[in-house]
Amino acid sequence: MAEIEIDGERYRLTVDHDLCMGTRVCIARLPGVFTVDDETNLSSASDDVLDPSLADAVREAVDDCPQEAIRLEKLG
């Protein structure tokens, strides 16, 4: 689970493992944030607090995931 501040609000970035198919589009959008386990073929977000400059790339990853498996949820 990664966190990022977007427009002054904190968000949690996660992957729904019931939907992920391991296509790795997320890694192309956000290298270093997502990793795909070679055995399970499931993507996970890092445990990092992401730099706010990555906000556009985060939105692209959410929009471009072919399985709609990436969740960006407001915290608090």
Name the residue nearer to ligand SF4 (CB basis): 9 or 37. Answer: 37
Name the residue nearer to ligand SF4 (CB basis): 21 or 75. Answer: 21
How many separate helices (H) and strands (E) can be counted in the chain? 2, 6
Contact status, residue 4 vs residue 47, Cβ threshold 8 Å: no
Measured distance CA(72)–CA(23) in Å, rounded = 19
Residues that bind ligand SF4 (CB under 6 A): 15, 20-26, 34, 36, 43, 65-67, 69-70
Provide, rounded to whole angstroms, the least separation between the CB of residue 76 and ligand SF4: 24
